[in-house]
Amino acid sequence: MSSTSQKHKDFVAEPMGEKSVMALAGIGEVLGKRLEEKGFDKAYVVLGQFLVLRKDEELFREWLKDTCGANIKQQGDCYSCLREWCDSFL
């Protein structure tokens, strides 16, 4: 089990509201810009995509890689961040 980052802990601690997509764990400036260009400018839009993919890890990872070029670690961080957020708030 890998330890979670501060970003992850901050994100899963509260409802995401209008947080930017860059508030997601694994999504920094570069990936965040790419996602914004594709229309995913808020964290809740990525959440929407995560839910439409039925919260499936494999599908979400693949989608994230195709959409913004996230590597394995970034995919994993973003996935576990959203999954944990959903466990708490959805």
Partner 1 sequence: MTMLSSKSNEEIKRMLDDYGIKHGPVVDSTRALYEKKLREAMSKHRRTQVQSDRTYYREEEDVTYVQHHRPQLYDDVSNRTWSDYRGMDYTDEPAIYRTQAPYQNMSQARNLPPEPHIQKTPEKTRLVPVWLQILVFLIVSGLLYLVYINMESAEPEKRLT
Query: Interface residues with partner 1 (CB under 8 A)?
Result: 48-49, 52-54, 56, 58-59, 62-63, 66
Q: What CA–CA distances, in Å, run from 32 to 20, 26, 76, 81, 87?
A: 9, 9, 16, 15, 24
CB nearer to partner 1: pick between 10 and 58? 58
Minimum distance of partner 1 from residue 53's CB (angstroms):
5
Classify 20 as helix, strand or coil: strand
Minimum distance of partner 1 from residue 6's CB (angstroms):
30
Minimum distance of partner 1 from residue 54's CB (angstroms):
4
The full length of the chain comes to 90
